[in-house]
Amino acid sequence: MELRHLRYFCVAAEELNMTRAAARLNMAQPPLTRQINQLEEEIGTRLFERSSRGLTLTPAGQFFHEHTLQILEKVDTTVAGTRRIARNKHQLFGIGFVPSVFYGQLPLLVRGLRQKEDLELTLAELTTVQQIQALKAGRIDLGFGRLRIDDPDIEQEVLFEEPMMAALPNGHPLEGTKPTMAQLAEYPLILFPATPRPSMADSVLGMFRRRGLRVRVAQEANEMQTALGLVASDLGITLVPEQVRRLQRDGINYVYLAEKHITIPILCSRRRGEKPNEIMQAANAILAVLVENRRSGRYP
């Protein structure tokens, strides 16, 4: 399967008429029909229903069309970015992060790197597992996550351990207290992210499980913001890293836990054995200052 097949398919899906689609593509209709037929054979299913009134997308065709548009948009963006970097002689540096990390000092790292005029900086919201894949594929250069991953091609550095807090709806019985894990286990729990797994959701479940506590999961959400919205709606409680308390949201109170040693790490992931270039050296230097600020209590 080649990119041209995807482009042919998208035009045909938009026109729902092979003659008009061929005209848009500046090609004859029979070769276009053959290309679409070959694409369907390769995928193993029909993408179009054909009738005397023209073409309609099958359910599989609709799914394929939606995702093909995303693929082509990503390719076009990548090509345009590559040309821009070549034209301006910029260096590309990618950072992946889980959302909860972005409420702390990561924006200061981004701000520091953006001072470099020859740098094209990209940011991607990714789970820790997705960061590992993106690092190995070269799509990012640094990853900031919560989950320890054993991979021979990746090295992970624990920057620091971050205390966990409970996010409670306004008026909750535990509001204003420092609850124990046993007390929290008595209330419905909201987990995030629901997918992909493993994720911080599994780390949170492990915190209860290691203490012999059973919890009732009321809801799983893919986004942290969604989970907090569910908490504000009084559907349950959730556990979040300390940095998230900076996110002031109506209807939610953050409380520290009685067990101070209940923490979750912030991990920096890099490609193992790769010699740091000038940009990576600058990122490491800024990161070292930010981590020292955190550890010494000079936390912005």
**Domain boundaries, position 120:** 72-158+265-296
Q: Note whether 154 and 269 are same-domain residues.
A: yes
Average pLDDT of the residues in 77-82: 73
Apex 166 CA angle, 203 and 107, nearest 5: 75
Q: Which residue bears the tokens 């960061």?
A: 131
* 3-class DSSP assignment, residue 137: helix
0.75 surpassed by pTM: no
Q: Note whether 180 and 254 are same-domain residues.
A: yes
Q: Note whether 182 and 141 are same-domain residues.
A: no
Quick one: pLDDT at residue 171? 95
The two three-digit tokens of residue 219, written as one number: 């809801």
Apex 72 CA angle, 69 and 73, nearest 5: 80
pLDDT, tens digit (0-9, with 9 covering 90-100), for 183-195 = 999 999 999 988 8
Q: Note whether 202 and 65 are same-domain residues.
A: no
Q: Note whether 63 and 148 are same-domain residues.
A: no
Contact 93, 141 (CB under 8 A): yes
Q: How many domains, in total, are found in the chain?
A: 3
Q: Note whether 219 and 78 are same-domain residues.
A: no
Contact 127, 199 (CB under 8 A): yes
Q: What is the CATH number of the domain that holds 42?
A: 1.10.10.10
- Phi, psi at residue 141, to the nearest 5°? -115, -25
Q: What is the CATH number of the domain that holds 181?
A: 3.40.190.10
Among the listed ranges 73-87, 155-169, 246-260, 274-288, which one has the minimum average pLDDT value? 73-87
DSSP state of 237: B
Average pLDDT of the residues in 246-260: 90
pLDDT, tens digit (0-9, with 9 covering 90-100), for 268-281 = 999 999 999 889 99
Quick one: pLDDT at residue 139? 87
Quick one: pLDDT at residue 152? 92
Question: Residue 271 pairs with which residues in a beta bridge?
Answer: 154
How many alpha carbons fall within 13 Å on the CB side of residue 148?
7
Apex 158 CA angle, 156 and 159, nearest 5: 125
Q: Note whether 238 and 272 are same-domain residues.
A: no
